[in-house]
Structure 1
Amino acid sequence: MTVHELDLAGITDSGLRADYLKSSRLFREIGRGRFLGRYMFPAAKRPYFDVFFSFVCYVDDLVDDVNRSTEVRAQRLDEWERAYLAAVKGETLEVEGPPSGDQETDSALSRALVHMMRTWDLPYDRVPEFIQAQREALTTYEYATYDDLDGFLQSVTLLPATWINGLFEPLSAEAEELCKHTITAFQLLDFIWDVQEDLELGRLYLPVEHLTKFGLDRGDLIREVGSGYTSDAVRELMKFEIERARKHLDAGRSWGRTLHPTSRKFVELDIQTHQAMVTDLVKDDYAFFNKPKKGIGFNSAVMVPRTAAAAARAAKVNRQAERDGYRIRRPYSPDAL
């Protein structure tokens, strides 16, 4: 993020600008290839994009930090929530002793996120609901049924998805439902792609009832995935899971067309990225599961040319939108109320 982008966004308060800049640097560090997506938006919207995705990635990393015990991770979620609630009230977070780097980051990100959500009329009061769902996920190591997994999807995955849909400026009422299909597909594909990594971390996001359907159990997946050999049963299971995800991907494929033109290229590229995941997963009779590899992102070799092309097309779309009178909304200010 640059000070020029903050100027274009109309964010003038020096303390808030520092919070946005810190959040953007955090996003660059932990956002993996997703950070490149910011360049598909008008410069004035990038500060808001950075803060939102920094928040999502930051909380995910708190939950998934295997270098910390479950108890410490739960404590970190509690600390972040306290910082957020203080930011909502406009209060300074009370801490014992000198603030740590974690506490400083919690507070800066929280203040920027509250401002971002108020600016875009998003339900900032529901953020603690998302944190509670993450807290519950900390001690959930498998899901017996798809209905059980759907509870995770609704609260951890789709709740923030509806917020990003608002940032993308939907033009029709159907945008939210299409968003939910698309983001559900993304999450299910991530579960399939990361199945070996998740198992090594003690977690399984494929419903146990699906394994049973193919005569498998958790131990079978632990033994086979990544071993260089996968049985017909495992391949049939993965085919079943991929098809479920693909149906959601197809159902939400028109999401971009229901959004403001300045948001479409990012969404279209994200869909292409996950379609590339499907291609890799099924290639050579599901050989991927013999030796799983790192995920596909905007900065991966297969996507870099498409990312560059999407950014170039987005720049043209954004310039045209501005010529046609498009302007970013005015930032939230309590003085304007």
Structure 2
Amino acid sequence: MMTRSHDEKIKRTHAEWLDAAGIHDDGLRSAFELCRRLHAHYGRTYYLATLFLPQSKRPFVNSLYGFARYADEIVDNGDPSTMADEFTQWCARALADLRRGHSEDPVCRALLHTMRVWDIPLEHVEAFLSSMLMDLTITEYRTFEDLREYMYGSAAVIGLQMVPILEPLDPSAFERAAALGEAFQLTNFLRDIAEDLRRGRVYLPMEDLDAFGVTRESMTAGVVDQRFRDLLKFEIDRTRRLYAFARGGIDLLAPSSRACIATAFTLYGGILDEIERADYRILDRRVAVSVAGRLKVAIPAYRSARRFRRAGIPASAGGERS
């Protein structure tokens, strides 16, 4: 149980992040804090990786994840009888607010500030919300190219939004970041097959299921046979090829950003290892990288990030802040 003194220390730490990021308005600070809590609660792996960024960058990453997670939660866990209308209306309000440059919605307000500071294009947010709207009506994808159309908005643009904050040293960092976003999402699709089935969705391409003789019904029944294992081996191999391409983008980022992305890269990739270690028996459980495994990655990353800070390598904030 957290003591009051420990709780106060955490609050001071988060306040230091906002100070370092130049975020001083009380309402805006509250908006960013809400996004940070969303990030910490729903994205533990990526939140851990974000801690290896300079303090001045962390709130901005929190806002990107907080906005995305808030939207995702409405779609995945809203009241089925009202969720479609609720989310469609929320998307319309969010885009209207972002276009006019003002919002009373805290997650939109934080995102808008981040977009201004780091010059993040509105079309990335439009693409993201378009993919989220697809989840209201589309429950499966015929081909991998069909799925990639969805993933562009739901995953690739998240990587594209992140790149300005990470400070690219070469324009090709954007292409690699988009690939990493896709790799992360494909990893999530594989880990969450059972959870998605309960929501009535299948994110593995139907052409792949057909090729290996796997059906939606067999997966729902929890059948883990050689056909299912071969399907997952195929999907893992495809995902690892994306990771391999994305890996080259890490060195194209500012040195102060590399430990963050390298940590996320390793931990998410580790989920694929855990699927294999479970002998592909993932229809009745949710695999995860162990705490020991996380620490094994996190401790060297922390040391690397601390070396850059101690060396006084600048981490610019990307623009003038209001």
Match of 1:189, as an amino acid?
T
Contact 1:133 1:156 in 2 (8 A): yes
Match of 2:307 among 299, 316, 320: 316
Structure 1 window deviating more from structure 2 (124-133 vs 52-61): it is 124-133
Q: 2:49 aligns with which of 37, 48, 73?
A: 37
Query: Is 1:55 aligned with 2:72?
Result: no
Asked if the contact 1:27/1:50 (under 8 Å) is kept, the reply is yes
Amino acid in the other structure paired with 2:164: G
Q: Which residue of 2 aligns with 1:253?
A: 247
| Preserved CA contact (<8 Å) 2:39 2:62 | yes
SS in 1 for 2:282: helix
Contact 1:24–1:47 (Cα < 8 Å) also in 2: yes
What pairs with 1:206-285 in structure 2 (closer than 5 Å)? 206-225=204-223, 230-283=224-277
Q: 1:213 to 1:200 in 2, by over 3 A?
A: same
Secondary structure of 2:299 counterpart:
helix
Q: Give 1:288 shift.
A: 3.0
Q: Distance in 2 between matches of 1:302 and 1:232?
A: 28
**How many angstroms does 1:308 deviate by?**
3.2
Deviation of 1:77 (Å): 4.6
Which of 60, 63, 68 is residue 79 of structure 2 equivalent to? Answer: 68
Runs of 4+ in 1 over 4 A off after TM superposition: 90-93
Aligned to 2:282: 289
Q: Which residue among 103, 106, 109 is the counterpart of 1:108?
A: 106
2:183 to 167, 182, 185: 185
| Distance change (3 Å), C-alpha of 1:330 and 1:178 | closer
Shift of the 20–88 alpha-carbon distance from structure 1 to 2, 3 Å rule, reads farther
Q: Distance in 1 between matches of 2:216 and 2:21?
A: 49
Give the 3 Å change call, closer, same or farther, for CA 81–331 of structure 1 in structure 2.
farther
- The percentage of counterpart residues that share the same residue type is 28
**Length-normalised TM-score, structure 2:** 0.87
Residue in structure 2 matched with residue 89 of structure 1 by the alignment: 100
In structure 2, the residue matched to 1:147 is: 145
The DSSP-based 3-state class of the residue aligned with 2:137 is coil
Name the SS of the counterpart of 2:168 in structure 1: coil
CA contact (8 A) 1:70 1:138 kept: no
In 1, the alpha carbon distance for the partners of 2:221 and 2:256 equals 46
Partner of residue 17, structure 2: 5
How far apart are the structure 1 equivalents of 2:283 and 2:194? 10
How far off its partner does 1:198 sit? 1.1
Q: Which residue of 1 aligns with 2:318?
A: 329
Q: 1:256 to 1:55 in 2, by over 3 A?
A: same
The C-alpha deviation readout for 1:134-180, integer Å capped at 9, x for no partner, is 11222211111112111111122112221112221111121112112
Match of 2:6 in 1: none
Equivalent position amino acid for 2:97 in 1: A
Is the CA contact 2:156–2:182 (under 8 Å) kept in the aligned structure 1?
yes
Q: TM (normalized to structure 1)?
A: 0.84
**1:251 is aligned with what amino acid?**
F
Give the partner amino acid of 1:85: A
Q: Is the 8 A contact 1:179 1:255 kept in 2?
A: yes
Paired with 2:84 and 2:287, the residues of 1 have a C-alpha distance of: 25
Secondary structure, counterpart of 2:164 in structure 1 = helix
CA contact (8 A) 1:137 1:152 kept: no
* 8 Å CA contact retained: 1:11, 1:331: no
Aligned residues: 310
Write out per-residue CA displacement over residues 26-81 of structure 1, whole angstroms, 9 at most, x where no aligned residue: 3333333432223201111122121111112221212211x521642441352254
What is the one-letter code of the residue matched to 1:319? R
Change in 2 beyond 3 A, CA 1:311/1:74: farther
Q: Which moves more between the two structures, 146-155 or 25-34? A: 25-34
**Does structure 2 retain, via aligned residues, the 8 Å contact 1:20–1:47?**
yes
- C-alpha change, 1:70 and 1:33, in structure 2 (3 Å) is farther
